[in-house]
Amino acid sequence: MHFSYLLQFNDIFEVSENDTKENCLRRLPKKYVLEACIYIANYSNLDKSPHEILNYLFHPTQDREFRNEVAASLSQFEARLRNEPTTAHWDWSILNKVSLLKLYEFTFYNKEDNDEDLVGNNNTQDLFKLILLFNRDENILDETLKTSVTGINPAYEKITAMVLAKGLAQFELTNRSSKHWLADVFLTQFKKALLLFNFIAKAEPNLIRLFLQKYQCDTVKDYINLYLPLVLPIISPNPNLDETFPVRIGVQNNDDNVRIVNFLNQFVSFDATLESLPDFATLRANPLYKDTDGSYLAVEPLFVAQRLYNSLYFEFRDIYLELKTPEEQIINPRPDDQIKRYLLGQFRRIYTSEFSENTLLYKTLDRIFHRNFTVKLPGTVIRDKLNYIGEPDFYVRNRNNIFLFENKDNLVSGVIKSSNNFSDIENTLQSLFFQDAGLKQIINNIKAIIDPAANPKHFDTGYNRRKLSIFPILVTARSDFEIPGFNNYLQKDFNRRLAELKVNGLEVSNVRPLTVINIDTLITFDSELRDDTAYLANRINSYHGQVNNIRKQFDLGIYEHTDELSFYTEPFSAYMKFNAVKEVSSRQLVKKKNSFMDLFKTL
């Protein structure tokens, strides 16, 4: 996770009462600001110097004088940083994607559409001031974060807390923006969506029927076909994916494309009368901007790639409520709010337990561990057929290597995610992961393996305990937790619980560190994991070896600044991305596109 001070208004300009967000925005056309945010946010992905950014933002002749004044102020700002010991090592930047997306939302909610007559010579200048004003808000959030970790020691635990809180709010937007990563994201979402469609078709066939009816589709393939104009520009190696331009989606508005146009229009249906929601909830649901020429721009391509699967939960949930409420009113009459709470709980149980764990996790791991392992058992088999209570969600043993999988499908509210307050975030994480289903469950299953006296009827006893290696793995269903610092944070509590077993006389040296792996990572790298039965064990050992080595160097004082410790806190997915894929090319993008089309043809 990268910490960077953002250039703000008072670093460049003298502050006056008139220089507010509202006043700057009032002088600008809505269309101009929205489109500028999209282009600049895409450009912000690139590693450009401050002066390159100024050249990109300002017109070479019309804005020359203003640009030169800003450049001179920038030089003075840099000099001030260098001359102060506390800021001499600061990394700083002008553009930040999160800040720009907040400006986009602010504009949508606070500007009228009929303001195209606001065309002036200072548009670029006012836009630049707006960007700096929004940057200040991000700097304030960083200060809130620093305050919330005051008193946490030692230093590496403080850094873990900081990168975790920052990552929860920003990591996916600032680290998953390349076209190659987006192709992986969409292909993973597509595979999950197919599994969910198949599951719902069997478990609740009426939900599929009403869902397809809503979109005037006969089959799931017809529905996916509506998505093709959205995703093909993202996962295809073509000029639209030039690093300096956003993804543009063009569909001819004729009789043959009426359904597709109507479908895409649902992705731009911002309701400016609604209150803005944290964590870009509205923008995630409506990630397109419709240009005046009828084409569409991806405001944030990541949200487009994620929407296919993420939106299905809410779509099926709402249909479930609509379908089941009349039945409940007859079967068990009670106030509507009680019925709604009950049905929401029922649907959540179906989704998290029956789909997320018993379908998505099982099928993913069954595909990865496809060879003849000594033991391979899903949790339902361990519980229902072997009559073992307190079972892991998935259990694999290859000779003396045991993999214990615990699945967690939890939601974190947008308010908590975007708070940058570690105290609030910590309270949420402890309630989600430190209770019965989580770290405690993993520790209980480890104890059952290493302590035969405590559980003489364990379902698997065919291993040599002295040669045993136990790999505890927490699988998260949400990408929210695929962030820096999260594994380190849970590791601390895991080590404490493991130490308690050791105090009680149990041998724990054969227990490997806890590894947090997002389900998307398992799906993305399933081909690598399938090719070698020892691949996952080797990667886990190598990942924790890197983490421990950096931790030792930090203890010796070799690492001086927090940015240099980022490798210590990186998630397992980032390690896999860096080490498993040595070369990224257009040829790989073609392969990923073909993989999607092959899956599509099987529908």
The sheet with strand 248-249 has its strands ordered as 248-249, 296-298, 288-290
pLDDT per position as a tens digit, 191-228:
999 999 999 999 999 999 999 999 999 999 999 989 88
Q: Percentage helix, strand, coil, to 5, in the chain? A: 65, 5, 30
Contact 247, 235 (CB under 8 A): no
Query: In the predicted model, what is the mean pLDDT of residues 289-303?
Result: 89
- The verdict on 429 and 567 lying in the same domain is yes
pLDDT the model gives residue 565: 63
pLDDT the model gives residue 343: 96
Query: In the predicted model, what is the mean pLDDT of residues 499-511?
Result: 94
pLDDT band at 240 (very low <50, low <70, confident <90, very high): very low
Contact 304, 287 (CB under 8 A): yes
User: How many C-beta atoms lie closer than 10 Å to residue 268's C-beta?
Assistant: 14
pLDDT the model gives residue 106: 94
- CB-based contacts of 69, cutoff 8 Å, min separation 6: none
Helix (H, G, I), strand (E, B) or coil at 398: strand
Task: Kindly state whether residue 385 falls inside one of the protein's structural domains.
Answer: yes
Residue 91 has pLDDT above 90, yes or no: no
- The verdict on 555 and 444 lying in the same domain is yes
Q: Which amino acid is at 265?
A: N
The number of C-alpha atoms within 13 Å of 219 and in the hemisphere containing its C-beta is 7
Answer with the one of 135, 150, 165 that is the final residue of a domain.
150
pLDDT per position as a tens digit, 150-199:
999 887 888 899 999 999 988 888 775 555 678 888 889 999 999 999 99
Helix (H, G, I), strand (E, B) or coil at 420: coil
pLDDT per position as a tens digit, 448-498:
999 878 777 789 988 888 899 999 999 999 988 999 999 999 999 999 999
- The verdict on 188 and 229 lying in the same domain is yes
What is the distance between the alpha carbons of residues 305 and 176, in angstroms, rounded to a whole number? 11
Domain total of the chain: 3
Q: Which amino acid is at 560?
A: E
Residue 235 has pLDDT above 80, yes or no: no
On the question of a cis peptide bond just before residue 154, with omega within 30 degrees of 0, the verdict is yes
- CB-based contacts of 216, cutoff 8 Å, min separation 6: 259
Task: Kindly state whether residue 329 falls inside one of the protein's structural domains.
Answer: no
Contact 491, 514 (CB under 8 A): yes
pLDDT the model gives residue 561: 53
Query: In the predicted model, what is the mean pLDDT of residues 119-145?
Result: 91
Task: Kindly state whether residue 361 falls inside one of the protein's structural domains.
Answer: yes
What is the residue range of 59's domain?
5-150
- The verdict on 126 and 272 lying in the same domain is no
pLDDT the model gives residue 130: 96
Task: Kindly state whether residue 166 falls inside one of the protein's structural domains.
Answer: no
Task: Kindly state whether residue 565 falls inside one of the protein's structural domains.
Answer: yes
Residue 560 has pLDDT above 80, yes or no: no
DSSP string, 253-305: -SGGGHHHHHHHHGGG---TTSPPPGGGHHHHH--EEE-TTS-EEESSHHHHH
- The verdict on 86 and 197 lying in the same domain is no
pLDDT the model gives residue 568: 80
Task: Kindly state whether residue 339 falls inside one of the protein's structural domains.
Answer: no
- The verdict on 89 and 192 lying in the same domain is no
Least confident of 168-182, 430-444, 501-515: 168-182
User: How many C-beta atoms lie closer than 10 Å to residue 56's C-beta?
Assistant: 16
- The verdict on 439 and 386 lying in the same domain is yes
- The verdict on 475 and 382 lying in the same domain is yes
Q: What percent of the chain has pLDDT over 90?
A: 59
Task: Kindly state whether residue 62 falls inside one of the protein's structural domains.
Answer: yes
- The verdict on 41 and 144 lying in the same domain is yes
- The verdict on 447 and 503 lying in the same domain is yes
Query: In the predicted model, what is the mean pLDDT of residues 77-103?
Result: 90
- The verdict on 477 and 564 lying in the same domain is yes
pLDDT band at 118 (very low <50, low <70, confident <90, very high): low
pLDDT the model gives residue 588: 57
The domain spanning residue 524 has which CATH number?
3.40.91
pLDDT per position as a tens digit, 383-432:
999 999 889 999 999 888 999 999 999 989 999 999 999 999 999 999 99
- The verdict on 238 and 290 lying in the same domain is yes
pLDDT the model gives residue 72: 96
What is the distance between the alpha carbons of residues 493 and 380, in angstroms, rounded to a whole number? 27
Burial of 509 (0-12, 13-18, 19+ CB in 10 A): exposed
Least confident of 17-26, 60-69, 574-583: 574-583
Task: Kindly state whether residue 159 falls inside one of the protein's structural domains.
Answer: no
What is the distance between the alpha carbons of residues 585 and 572, in angstroms, rounded to a whole number? 23
Query: In the predicted model, what is the mean pLDDT of residues 291-312?
Result: 90
Query: In the predicted model, what is the mean pLDDT of residues 113-121?
Result: 62
Q: Mean pLDDT score of the chain, rounded to an integer?
A: 87
pLDDT the model gives residue 582: 45
Query: In the predicted model, what is the mean pLDDT of residues 64-79?
Result: 95
pLDDT band at 595 (very low <50, low <70, confident <90, very high): low
Answer with the one of 131, 150, 169 that is the final residue of a domain.
150
Burial of 585 (0-12, 13-18, 19+ CB in 10 A): exposed
